[in-house]
Amino acid sequence: MYKFCFSLLIPLFLFLLVLYPFSIGLNYSKGLLLLTLVIVIISVILFVFSTFFDPIVELRKQYIRPIFLFLLGYLIVFFQGYTDLLLGNLLATDLFYFVKPHLINQAALLSCAGLIALFLGYFIRLKPIKKKYKVFSVIPLDRLIIVFTLFNLLSIYLNLKTFLSGEYSQELIESNSGTSSSYAQLLFYITYLSIIILHAINCRLKGANSIIQFVKGLGWLFYVNLGVYLLLIIISGDRGPILTISLTFICAATVGTLVRIKLKYILMCVFGGALFITLLGIVRRMDTKVSLSNRLVEAFSENKISEKYESFSPVTAELASSVRTLHFVIDKVPNDYPYLFGLLQLRESLKTIPFAAGIFDPLFPSHFRYINSAFYITWLDKGNFYFVGSGSSINADLYLIFGEISVLLGLFLVGRLFRRLDVLVFTSDRKFISLYSIVLSISILGSSIFWSRATYLAPIKSIAFTYIMVYLYLGFINRKKKAF
């Protein structure tokens, strides 16, 4: 059955490749969009159905995996707007969502083909996966939690004004990239990741088999630090870290205990979190002179969510609006501006090197649009002067490299990565653990829902820094043991 589902996806993919050239420049066709969404539904059903018959038994009904949460985010970002269009909640002439009507079918077909490329990457095994496991003993975390506390205090000291201002934007984060304040927040986050990753390994070694056991094992100091950080994040109006922290924690608990959480509970948590995050987004746009509690009450009492987002799913409508970024790049590139052939991705990857911005930035064009695709798309949308950025998305970011080919290839590679991580993480013995795969899985899962509205390399910095910190801490602990 697993191979049968895979074999059905190939003709669907080839059909889209044949159909796509005819959609370029085509006026909006409701029938073609409906056909595209039907193919999306069929593809998702085939993929989800196939997971119940996965040849690797340990993966069956294990929903806390990067592939599933990435899929949820991808469907919201690239297909919710089109669904609202067919339902009559949006018009094809809505310039905010769709930029230009003749881009709708082309962008929808490309996103659909990218979705199937993701599935094919997950299904296809190019060669047997070599399992590289390491034998661990229980790792003491007390010193790392102290470091966590110090980084939390440093982050608060350097960012308190920003936290308390109640104002937040992606451009503010990017403009602070490479500064001491941004690195303080990054160090806090990667220390948090390192703690829950190593705690997950400890839980495996101890034979923990419940989420409660995982939660109890971290101690009060860890939760005090985490609570203070999340409170300041809520006040600041930043919504991303709340979901990121929640997802990584749940993922670490799943990896550590190998518990299978029921799908209904996962969906309840996801949509509850989406509602909370949407409320924060609405509250952030209200008068900042009014207290946070009063703004929350107003958002509920006046039904601000439905007022702002007319959609079959208002709580995810803001996330879905990122589809416009793909429309912008398809409209302008390569018709008016050339492909960038990985320039933005190269610059973003170099940011993984601490405090290297001053070294590498002079090597790139000085105009702000070349910082990353979010700035490039903002420039395409609003020119050299803007108040609020336009954001980015994974498909738009990939499209800027070399058009449709880079979108399909990039998503195929994401699927391959997800499959490799799933096999290495969930099929290992409790005492034989693939460290790098656990680091990758938990780090990626934290940003998996938002990854579709971010750049292709968005998770790379946290992954690289977390792996380095885990490696250094393990080296420190081993030296301490040898000293005694």
The tens place of each residue's pLDDT in the chain, 484 residues long, gives 677 888 899 999 999 999 999 999 899 999 999 999 999 999 999 999 998 888 888 888 888 889 998 999 999 999 999 999 999 999 999 988 899 999 999 999 999 999 999 999 998 875 666 656 666 688 899 999 999 999 999 988 887 776 666 554 444 554 555 567 777 888 999 999 999 999 999 998 888 888 899 999 999 999 999 999 988 887 776 667 887 898 899 989 998 888 888 777 777 776 776 667 666 666 655 555 555 556 555 555 544 544 555 788 887 888 899 999 999 999 999 999 999 999 999 999 888 876 666 788 888 888 889 989 999 999 999 988 877 788 899 999 999 999 999 999 999 999 999 999 888 888 766 666 778 888 998 999 888 888 999 999 999 888 989 999 999 999 888 776 655 4
pLDDT of residue 167: 52
Assess contact for 143 and 219: CB atoms under 8 A.
no
**Which tokens in the block code for residue 203?**
């839980």
**Which tokens in the block code for residue 457?**
């390399």
- H/E stretch holding 45: helix 30-51
Helix (H, G, I), strand (E, B) or coil at 53: coil
Assess contact for 109 and 326: CB atoms under 8 A.
no
DSSP string, 389-440: -----HHHHHHHHHTHHHHHHHHHHHHHHHHHHHHHHHSS-TTEE-HHHHHH
pLDDT of residue 342: 95
pLDDT of residue 7: 87
Assess contact for 344 and 397: CB atoms under 8 A.
yes
pLDDT of residue 472: 92
- φ, ψ of residue 126 in degrees (nearest 5): -70, -35
pLDDT of residue 160: 75
- Give the residue from 85, 66, 34, 122 showing the smallest Cα distance to 413: 122
**Which tokens in the block code for residue 109?**
């077909």
Q: How much is the pTM?
A: 0.88
- 196/149 Cα distance (integer angstroms): 14
- φ, ψ of residue 477 in degrees (nearest 5): -65, -40
User: For the packed helices 394-402 and 404-426, what is the interaxial angle rounded to 10 degrees?
Assistant: 130
- H/E stretch holding 12: helix 2-23
| Ramachandran category for residue 355: left, alpha or beta (phi over 0 → left; psi -120 to 50 → alpha) | left
Helix (H, G, I), strand (E, B) or coil at 44: helix
